[in-house]
Amino acid sequence: MIEKDRARFIYQTMNRIRCFEMKAVSLFESNKLRGSVHLYVGEEAVAATVCSQLSEEDYIASTHRGHGHCIAKGATLDGAMAELMGKSTGYCKGRSGSMHIADLSKGNLGANAIVGGGIPIATGAALASKMQNNGRVSVSFFGDGASNEGTFHESLNLAAVWKLPIIFICENNLYGISVPSWQSTSVKDISVRGQAYGIPGITVDGNDVEAIDEAFRTACQRARDGEGPTLIECKTYRWLGHWTGDPQPYRTREEIEEWKQKCPIKRYRTKLIEQGIFTSEELDGIEKEAQAEADRAAEFALNSPEPDPAGLLDDVFYEGGAQV
């Protein structure tokens, strides 16, 4: 059983992510938001649970499907929605959008639109933590598709030989865009790839908060104790298309419906009531609060100014200014 404060954080965070994303979808559909928007709906338990055990100083590196990680690691919905809308008040001044959103002040090394691109970076942050002996851990989030990238294998090997304080979290949502993982991935359980690098690998139900929590606690302790990395595979499912507008000819309605029955938010809600941690009314309150926050975030973003083109070349370099 998860202690009350953390249980609240997890439930609240899952709902904030869900409401944020559904709001983003409606903004996208009304042409108020452009670009690639990869939705995490159905996978919220992973980010919310993992981040409930991290402090602000710990690092995460995320993926193109990164809203959930960003919010769970401490982003405000206002700043995140403004970034998705490309506004100057966004976390990255409107330069990043959904696919590259980052907030280093909260230890978030960024969404990463190159599949597998963030894994070595998270590994490097763990190397820095080890060299600085500051007790921080890194979490590298990535999908099943990324586990076929060289950077995944290189990073697991590096982290293993250097015993780095990092936890590799594979969110296996069963598809790399349209390609089912049985067609692209040589193993049924990606966690067995840990064995190749001499590190523990474990597969958990990625829609089960408590299962994730337990596996991550062990891995996190191992990392903080200087014993090195762990690979955790969370089996989950993205309810929506790879992107907003994906016609999804590669899977059936029945399959999607089946997974919707396993909704991580509903499941945890039932559990929290069963365990007597929160009443149904209290949980309703958390949900309403999340919805209101997402609505306010949309208003904030819509009313925020566009970035000034005069700042186009700012921050290309540390000292500012153009390339040449």
Partner 1 sequence: MIKTYAMAVHDVMAEEMRRDERVFIMGEDVETLGGVFGCTRDLYKEFGTERVRNTPISEAGFVGAGIGAACAGMRPIVELMYMDFTFVAMDQILNQAAKTRYIFGGNAKIPLVIRGQQGIGRGNAATHSQSVETFFMHIPGLKVACPSTPADAAGLLRTAIRDDNPVMFFEHKALYAQKGEVPEDIDFTIPFGKADIKREGTDVTIVANLLYVGRALEAAEILSGEGISAEVIDPRTLVPLDMNTITESVKKTGRLVVVHEAHRNAGWGAEIAAQVTEDVFPYLDAAPIRLGTAPCPLPFNLGLENAATPQVADIVKAAKTVLYRI
Rounded to a whole number of angstroms, the minimum distance from the CB of residue 263 to partner 1 is 33
Among residues 49 and 151, whose Cβ is nearest to partner 1? Answer: 151
- Tell the smallest beta-carbon distance from residue 92 to partner 1 (Å): 4
Q: Rule CB under 8 A: is residue 128 a binding residue for partner 1?
A: yes
**Which of the ranges 3-11, 47-55, 91-99, 184-192 carries the binding residues for partner 1, by CB under 8 A?**
91-99
Rounded to 5°, angle at Cα 146 from 47 and 74: 25
CA distances (Å), 88 to each of 101, 110, 130, 227, 317, in order? 13, 18, 36, 43, 19
Q: How far is the CB of 8 from partner 1 (least distance, A)?
A: 29
Q: How far is the CB of 234 from partner 1 (least distance, A)?
A: 22
Number of residues that bind partner 1 (CB under 8 A): 48
Q: How far is the CB of 90 from partner 1 (least distance, A)?
A: 7
Residue among 37, 121, 297, 301 that touches partner 1 (CB under 8 A): 121
Q: Does 158 bind partner 1 (CB under 8 A)?
A: yes
Within residues 52-71, the interface with partner 1 by CB under 8 A covers 59, 61
- Cross-strand bridge partners of residue 178: none
* Residue of 15, 53, 112, 181 interacting with partner 1 (CB under 8 A): 112
Q: Which of 12, 76, 148, 157 binds partner 1 (CB under 8 A)?
A: 157
Note whether 103 binds partner 1 by CB under 8 A.
Answer: yes
User: By CB under 8 A, is residue 91 in contact with partner 1?
Assistant: yes
Of 121 and 298, the one with the shorter C-beta distance to partner 1 is: 121
One character per residue 9-48, x = contact with partner 1 (rule: CB under 8 A):
----------------------------------------
Find the helix packing angle between 150-161 and 119-132, rounded to 10°. 20
127 is a contact residue toward partner 1 (CB under 8 A): yes
Residue type, 292: A
Among 45, 126, 209, 298, binds partner 1 (CB under 8 A): 126
Dihedral angle at the C-alpha atoms of 20, 11, 219, 226, nearest 10 degrees?
Answer: 80
Of 176 and 206, which CB lies nearer to partner 1 in the complex structure? 176
Q: Are the CB atoms for 237 and 42 separated by under 8 Å?
A: yes
For the sheet containing 138-143, what is the strand order? 59-61, 138-143, 166-172, 230-235, 201-205
**Residue 315 in the binding site for partner 1 (CB under 8 A):** yes
> Quick check: 87 binds partner 1 (CB under 8 A)?
no
CB of 313 to partner 1, least distance (A): 9
Binding of partner 1 at residue 189 (CB under 8 A)? Answer: no
User: Under the rule (CB under 8 A), what is the footprint of partner 1?
Assistant: 59, 61, 90-93, 95-96, 100, 102-105, 109-110, 112, 114, 117, 119-129, 131-132, 138, 150-151, 154-155, 157-158, 161, 314-319, 322-324
